[in-house]
Amino acid sequence: MRIASVEVHRCALPLVRPFRTSFGTEYTKDVLILELTTEDGVVGWGECVAAPDPLYSHEFNDAALLVWRDFLIPRVMGRELTAEDVPSLIGAVRGHPMARGALELAILDAQLRATGESLATYLGSSRTEIPCGVSVGIPDDDSLDTLMAEVAGYIADGYKRVKLKIQPGWDLVPTRLVHETWPDMPLQVDANQAYSRNDIEHLVKLDEFGLLLVEQPIHEEDYLGHKLLAERMITPVCLDESVLSVDNAESLIDYGACEIVNIKAGRVGGYLSAKAIHDMALARGVPVWCGGMVETGLGRAANVALASLPGFVLPGDTSASDRFYTQDITTPFVMNDGLMTVPTGPGLGVAPIPDILAELTVSRVHVA
């Protein structure tokens, strides 16, 4: 396969409600969509999970555009390649896993569309549907009533697991209230690095709620802090932002800094790396689950395929399209009794609807 051209669509998708975490509030999804065309006329799609600003991660959209144009895409143009060649071809470029992952996904999508194989089958899927969890942000008005109404709606929709975003000052009270109101609903919390080692004794108080896990409570580089917390807590410690590669993930497990791994393909450089982390964790009996980055239908399709692998034993953030968008760029993903069907079509199994993509695109850049 040879790449003929690469276009980037910068899209703006209004969210159905603000999504607030410890590092900021998102009102509109500003997302970069890669459209890659091969010399044989096959089109592959990739989605970059970076944000407009470097708050969740050091990566951001304008940087992704630059690194694609000047460093990554020139390394894959003009040569015969497969998706499996991409990590070594772009390996000399340090960092930028979200940009790398989006390019790899577009190439992989084109390759699989050409061969007629689905991404789920390619990765090693073991099921035809997956359970859906939902991530609940901190209410924009800091209201417990607002939180409870939102959670009640998601439970009525059929979600199999609830994740609450927490931060200092918004942790024990909302978690207790949700747990006591729905004691049988699997519940977990996510701090997005909002705490420090000094907060360990406070975080241990979360143990009373029987949580599935506490996700990334301390800064991503503080491995010792997470180890100390894991030694004190009954609740399993799960790492997210700290996990960058299969070697790094295995080291964190061996060190005792985490007992569960959240695999986000964009954060670890793509779905080939994500599968490697899954395979390592499965071999070691370590639970994994698929995190979300407020993806459009393209990234959601890829995540659902990933989450259908056998090691994903906990519900992920693979919510329905209408959790975030009134209008997705693809045919909407829907749930049935809390389950979502794994796409079986070639590649991602979905593609942007042309009229909707054009409507939501605010700029378009010819990169190669």
H and E: helices and strands count for the chain = 12, 13
**Domain assignment of residue 250, given as a range:** 120-341
**347 in a domain, yes or no?**
no
Q: Are residue 65 and residue 169 in the same domain, yes or no?
A: no
Strands 187-190 and 161-165: parallel
Catalytic residue (choose from 29, 163, 264, 275): 264
Indicate the pTM of the whole model. 0.96
Decide if 290 contacts 303 (C-beta within 8 A): yes
Does residue 264 have an active-site annotation? yes
Q: Are residue 92 and residue 141 in the same domain, yes or no?
A: no
Q: Are residue 107 and residue 148 in the same domain, yes or no?
A: no
**278 in a domain, yes or no?**
yes
Q: Are residue 163 and residue 232 in the same domain, yes or no?
A: yes
Does residue 160 have an active-site annotation? no
**346 in a domain, yes or no?**
no
Which of 249, 251, 238 minimizes the C-alpha distance to 193?
238
Q: Are residue 78 and residue 106 in the same domain, yes or no?
A: yes
**Per-residue exposure over 9-20, b if at least 16 CB sit within 10 Å of its own CB, e if not:** bbbebebeeebb
- The tens digit of pLDDT for each residue in 38-73 reads 999 999 999 999 999 999 899 999 999 999 999 999
Cross-strand pairs, 237: 214
**184 in a domain, yes or no?**
yes
Q: Are residue 313 and residue 361 in the same domain, yes or no?
A: no
Decide if 47 contacts 102 (C-beta within 8 A): yes
Q: Write out the chain's pLDDT in tens, 368 residues.
A: 999 999 999 999 999 988 888 878 889 999 999 999 999 999 999 999 999 999 989 999 999 999 999 999 999 998 999 999 999 999 999 999 999 999 999 999 999 999 999 999 999 999 999 999 999 999 989 999 999 999 999 999 999 999 999 999 999 999 999 999 999 999 999 999 999 999 999 999 999 999 999 999 999 999 999 999 999 999 999 999 999 999 999 999 999 999 999 999 999 999 999 999 999 999 999 999 999 999 999 999 999 999 999 999 999 999 999 999 999 999 999 999 999 999 999 999 999 999 999 999 999 999 99
Q: Are residue 86 and residue 134 in the same domain, yes or no?
A: no
Decide if 6 contacts 70 (C-beta within 8 A): no
Q: Are residue 235 and residue 291 in the same domain, yes or no?
A: yes
Catalytic residue (choose from 29, 160, 163, 165): 165
**246 in a domain, yes or no?**
yes
**Per-residue exposure over 221-243, b if at least 16 CB sit within 10 Å of its own CB, e if not:** ebbebbbbbbeebebbbbbbbbb
Q: Torsions phi, psi of 171, nearest 5?
A: -145, -75
**348 in a domain, yes or no?**
no
Residue 94: CATH number of its domain: 3.30.390.10
**235 in a domain, yes or no?**
yes
Q: Are residue 264 and residue 360 in the same domain, yes or no?
A: no
**25 in a domain, yes or no?**
yes
What's the total number of domains in the chain? 2
Residue 235: CATH number of its domain: 3.20.20.120
Q: Are residue 130 and residue 103 in the same domain, yes or no?
A: no
Q: Are residue 36 and residue 93 in the same domain, yes or no?
A: yes
Task: Judge residue 37's burial from the number of C-beta atoms within 10 Å of its C-beta, 0-12 exposed, 13-18 middle, 19 or more buried.
Answer: middle
Residue 131 CA to residue 336 CA, distance in Å, equals 10
Q: Are residue 175 and residue 279 in the same domain, yes or no?
A: yes
